[in-house]
Chain A
Amino acid sequence: MHTLHGRALPVASGAKLARPELTVLALVGDGDGLGIGAGHLPHTIRRNPDITCVLFDNAIYGLTKGQTSPMTPQHQITRSHPMGNPDPKMNPVLLALSYGAGYVARGFAGAPDEMQRLFEEGIRHKGFSFIHIMSPCVTFDKVNYLYDNLRSWVRLLPAGYDSTNLDRAFEIARGVELFTGLIYSKPSLEQGAR
């Protein structure tokens, strides 16, 4: 079901509540998930339905041909901001952690094997799981999320990283470096999905 722009999370939650035996995913972008429908994110996390939200972030409004999105970096020149985007971008991983999501991960479209592993884990996670995927818009973004750029920016999480340590997860989320992988996973006893 391709829902209204921004409303994937409520619709997915409703489907899951109605038919708990279904596996339900909500696939959103940075424009609808962090812009028009951002208000649904904290509350979906709070209610903790057993659904997986994948946020495909291309840092631009691609369908409408290149306007500033909530993930466009400050000062970047776009169609809607020829003098540069005046506002700083959002941090979806930090948001999800702050609201208390039980499974938070980040992936990169240039690393499909890792993405697949994160999706599988996220779907298996009992409760709400949130996966931030950095996914270049090759048509309308010529400066920021280029495959080459992202390849040089992303870092694998350090060896021995403990994904159940929430404080460490916040450090990773707040840092300037773009770590990919499972950033936080609530110990299974505390997952408490409904």
Chain B
Amino acid sequence: MTYKRSLTIEICGSSGDRSLAAGEILIKTLSDIGYHVISFDAYPAEIRGFGKTVAHMRAGREIMLSLSSKVDILVSLNDRYAIEQLKNLNDEGVVIFDNRQRDITYEVLQQDEGQTDKHHLGPGVYTEEEGWKEITSEQVSIAGHLGPGMYLYGVPLYQLSQKTTNESRSRNIVVLGSVAALFNIPKNEFIGNLTAKLGKKDKSVDSVVAAFEEGYNYVRENVVKLDPYSFERLSVDRKGYKLMDGNKAVAQAAIDAGCKLYAGYPITPATKIMEVLFAELPKHGGAVVQTEDEISAIGHVTGAGFAGVRAMTATSGPGFCLMTEFIGYNVMSETPVVIVDSQRGGPATGLPTKTEQSDLNHALFGGNGDTPRIVVAPTSVKECYQWTAEAFYLAEKYQMPVIVLIDLFLSLSVRNVQLDPLPDYKKGSNKLPSQEDMKLYLRQKITDDGVSPRSLPGQENGYQVVSGLEQNEYGTPVYDEYSHTVMTQKRFRKIKTALDHDVPSPERIGQKGRVKLGVISWGSTAGAVADAVDSVLKEGKSVAMLKLIVINPLKEKEIQAFLDDCEKVLVPELNYQGQFANWLSIHFQQKFLRFNKVATRPITHDEIEAEINRLLKE
């Protein structure tokens, strides 16, 4: 790749143009030839009807943890929608479009009481509200909308698709051929991935490959390349890398960490975790159950945790709210559970298909009473794997709920990652009673580290009663000042023990020693900060970042040391209140500069970079 650190590509069409399938093949190919990739597709929010669908990906030589605001290469399968995307195109961006658009006859399926009729109509657009509307050829072609520095390449996508496959729906494949030719992407890898993806479904693989070749050859024979972008093969080995999104990483971590029960209720964007586990967990001796609601889901997980088995549920904000009573119950009954919350826009049903980081308050404080819990927030897909696995270890070891906060962006963003295998000692962390303990078994025994040895149901002499009531060491309900005080202290002591033994120091990135600006970040936004800091450091700026994955408990000493090094401290996050900045303000005497957005999309690295530069100039 030349000219730029990374390139952002969009394939834009209406649903039915299969632009996402094309995006999937492209991202796989770029990954195979050595590039780091990160994708984040945009779907129409409505299930029914036509809507804009955009496969969005960023590829580069170095690892990337965030998206760019601007697009470098825009591939149009539907010009009307692609015209809207032009506002994001770089001044020197590339557009690939169908230069014979006006010949197209669109096929529109109209469904009327179960009957499907095909209506052949001219160029136009269909919306739920207005129905079919014809539009003029000028409106329909993207060619008339480009800025002066942009590069435009026309390929007769429709004609070539018809010629090879007798249908217009292979335009997505034709255009992949053209993309391969234009940007020097090795053809064989592409065709391999193409047949692997379509092979199972499509009987006419040959004709699809022919469509790809037509798109490729057309560009080679007819198009003069003017733009500077290319994706030649890199000489790096990506063998151990896998393409996966955060949901897949969470599910894989559950399997590898020995989770034996998953219970969940469908909710965007966490549903795929359940879908993956339904297919995979039974193969590893685990059970998966789709429950009637999220209360039942966390109830199942609690029962399994009590029985001594690693168990997990995953949800999003509204479902997480329903689970709240059980968070307190798991704290009080000292039952290990892992809860994954993939945050989406809120409050209430909110914005089910949009990303946000606004459940932090709930994760930290949700529930009645003094309820210590561990909260971790992975910042990348790789960390989704690592920290979900870690959550099982921590929950079991400290007998308490561990909340893994991810978000829609991490859940759905596909990246090529190399997963580090889980160390064996983390696969079983129950503190079991010794023979001495069994002489007179005390379920809630007061200990120095706060953790009581736990007998499991069926263990001889290990009879226990646990409940949501305050209790003494025997587990008998008690309501006196002494018991409530020592037991509350014991529950909080576990958090302190976890902090001392199992919470790593937060990672500091960037300039060492004193800096003009420090950035503290969490969750997926930390990815954008890491990319931005990397970029401004190359310009020699005095900046460092601190990446916090464990949100509770906080490594206060290490964080304070970082704060002491910074003239100013910025906390960017994807919520309105600055929930993380507020959380830090409870712990540190420091003025935190905030950068809050409720953008319905991830914060990009260039937005952070602009804010860093603005603050450095102040």
Is B121 part of the contact surface with A, judged by Cβ < 8 Å? no
In the bound complex, CA of A12 to CA of B306 (Å): 10
Is B76 part of the contact surface with A, judged by Cβ < 8 Å? no
Pairwise interchain contact B301-A14, C-beta atoms closer than 8 A: yes
Interface of A is mostly: helix
Q: Which of B134-192 contact A (CB under 8 A)?
A: none
Contacts of A193 in B (CB 8 A): none
Given contacts A2-B468, A19-B457, A14 and B299 within 8 Å (CB-CB): yes
Contacts of A7 in B (CB 8 A): 295-296, 299, 302, 326
Pairwise interchain contact A39-B292, C-beta atoms closer than 8 A: yes
Contacts of B292 in A (CB 8 A): 39-40, 42-43
Q: Which of B311-337 contact A (CB under 8 A)?
A: 311, 325-326, 329, 333
In the bound complex, CA of A43 to CA of B326 (Å): 19
Q: Which of B272-325 contact A (CB under 8 A)?
A: 287, 289, 291-293, 295-309, 311, 325
Number of A-B contacts (CB under 8 A): 101
Give the residue of B261, B329, B468 whose beta carbon is less than 8 angstroms from that of A18: B261
Find the A residue at minimum CB distance from B298: A10
Q: Which of A1, A9, A13, A21 has the largest number of chain B CB atoms within 10 A?
A: A1
| CB of B477, distance to nearest CB on chain A (Å) | 9
Pairwise interchain contact B468-A11, C-beta atoms closer than 8 A: no
In the bound complex, CA of A22 to CA of B296 (Å): 20
In the bound complex, CA of A42 to CA of B291 (Å): 11
Q: How many residues of B contact A (CB 8 A)?
A: 35
Given contacts A4-B329, A22-B307, A43 and B302 within 8 Å (CB-CB): no
Interface of B is mostly: mixed
Q: Which of A17-66 contact B (CB under 8 A)?
A: 17-19, 21-22, 39-40, 42-43, 47
Is A154 part of the contact surface with B, judged by Cβ < 8 Å? no
| CB of A17, distance to nearest CB on chain B (Å) | 5
Pairwise interchain contact A15-B325, C-beta atoms closer than 8 A: no
Is B198 part of the contact surface with A, judged by Cβ < 8 Å? no
Is A3 part of the contact surface with B, judged by Cβ < 8 Å? yes
Pairwise interchain contact B468-A14, C-beta atoms closer than 8 A: no
In the bound complex, CA of A14 to CA of B306 (Å): 9
Could you jot down 11 A-B contacts, CB within 8 Å?
A: A1-B465, A10-B295, A10-B302, A13-B289, A13-B303, A14-B263, A14-B300, A14-B306, A17-B303, A40-B292, A40-B299
Q: Which residues of A are in contact with B by a Cβ distance under 8 Å? A: 1-4, 7, 9-19, 21-22, 39-40, 42-43, 47
Q: Which residues of B are in contact with A by a Cβ distance under 8 Å? A: 260-261, 263, 287, 289, 291-293, 295-309, 311, 325-326, 329, 333, 457-458, 465-469
